[in-house]
Amino acid sequence: MRDLAARLRTIVRQDHGGASQTQRRELTYVPDMDGLSADPERAARTLGGEFIDDNRTCLVIDRVWEPHEWHGRRAVSQFLVGAEAPLALLDPRVAAISDWAERVVFFDLETTGLSGGAGTLAFLAGCGWFEGEAFRVRQFFLTAPTGERAMLAALGQVFDSASLLVTYNGRSFDVPLMDTRWAFHRTAAPTDDLPHFDMLPPARRLWGRRELRGGRASDDQDVEATSCSLSSLERSVLGFHRLGDVPGFEIPARYFHFLRTGDGAAVRGVLDHNRHDLLSLAGVMAHALSLAQDGPAACRDEAERLALGRIYERAGACDRALEAYDAAARGLDRDVRRHALSRLASLHARANRHDEAAAAWQGVLDMASPRAGVTSIERRAIEALAIHHEHRARDLPAARVFAERLSHDTSGRARHSAAHRLGRIDRKIGERGKLI
């Protein structure tokens, strides 16, 4: 979709450069509203908003949460993050932005469909930001599709004053969709130069993967995906449970019903849904940043500590990753402990702390079940210990034990390599015996 927006902007630039205002070909389509029974004034009264255009097609609706109000287990004021928060740990692309915390704007759309493209209309655009410790949500709602130009202009003013845009899956959907709409209307997209932080990828790294028994932490067959929808995270992370919420699949139908009847009550729940999404996004982001800042002691369980360690490792903060992995390895969940020990071993080996790496790999094997087959993570441990005892500790009998075990528990090329290693170790043992 972003490629389409880029092509449209190119057309716009060429059009502005070579054609007169009267010759310019219009790219937008305004649907015929004849026969629709929407009553704008009634909708404004029902939804509690004011019109921002003379045609009464775009409403602005404000709602403020005071600092002492609660959203789940936390007060709204606890969702406010400062410039010291380690945002770059969650997204290295914002590492060079020093003033990102000046005015953070949270952004979420409600649309007539999820396919994107020119036929998808964003009829509700919600923006949220902190004013002191209070949280303001400002929503722009189209009482008719012809109000899109007014909505885009109003959003442009909000984005022009923002230092950072925060979305949930907005890098793939919300922002490209709006960029396309700005291009259709022959206006520059205010998001082009605005730093953008999408909370979905860090959320998936923190809460979206749970290791199954054994296996590599990077192997798809050894992990199971858990839901990382914003509604799921607000329950598990924030302790916020919605009552009477409008399901996402109902939202387009409710808007079309509003267009046919003018019944503002049909979309009142959609506005509430959007408001809660924005406030939950602020809460989830604040919680993720607090974990990154406070370290494994702030995590709820060992699985979260393991995930936090991966975030540190990915950002190059190896000392903090070691701390998180070590904390995860001390938990009660055996599978998480195995994966944490494997990451500890890899980091120690990378830093040439080979004895510590070997101890971590041995810890993986100490938790292995003798009745179960050898898992991929245990196979890595056996191979690493065979190499360590042969080449570093120079304990050939111990190296032979691991090499022999490896030759029985692998197949194909891996078994051939293990047999080759076993033969080499036997020759070394024989040569050592001749010297004695």
CATH of the domain at 148: 3.30.420.10
Whether 296 maps to a domain, the answer reads no
- ∠ Cα 225 229 230 (to 5°): 140
Same domain, 261 and 352: no
pTM of the model: 0.85
Domain count, the chain: 2
Same domain, 283 and 317: no
| Domain encompassing residue 96 | 2-291
User: Which of 122, 129, 142 shows the shortest CA–CA distance to 182?
Assistant: 122
Euclidean distance between CA atoms 415 and 374, whole angstroms: 14
Euclidean distance between CA atoms 224 and 428, whole angstroms: 44
What is the residue whose two structure tokens read 């691991």?
Answer: 402
Same domain, 276 and 163: yes
- Neighbouring CB atoms inside 10 A of 424's CB total 13
Same domain, 287 and 311: no
Would you write out the chain's pLDDT as a tens digit for each of its 436 residues? 556 556 555 655 555 444 444 444 444 444 444 444 457 889 999 999 999 999 999 999 999 999 999 999 999 999 999 999 999 999 988 877 888 999 999 999 999 987 655 578 999 999 999 999 999 999 999 999 999 999 999 999 999 999 999 999 999 999 999 999 999 999 999 999 999 999 999 999 999 865 444 444 444 344 445 689 999 999 999 999 999 999 999 999 999 999 999 999 999 999 999 999 999 999 999 999 999 999 999 999 999 999 999 999 999 999 999 999 999 999 999 999 999 999 999 999 999 999 999 999 999 999 987 766 788 899 999 999 999 999 999 999 999 999 888 887 666 677 778 788 888 998 888 887 665 5
Fill in the amino acid letter for 222: D
Q: How far is CA 321 from CA 85, 304, 347, 348, in A?
A: 17, 12, 9, 11
Domain-ending residue, one of 256, 291, 326: 291
Q: Residue 349's domain is classified under what CATH number?
A: 1.25.40.10
The DSSP element (H or E) to which 303 belongs, if any, is: helix 302-314
Domain-ending residue, one of 261, 291, 321: 291
Same domain, 88 and 140: yes
Same domain, 198 and 256: yes
Same domain, 174 and 231: yes
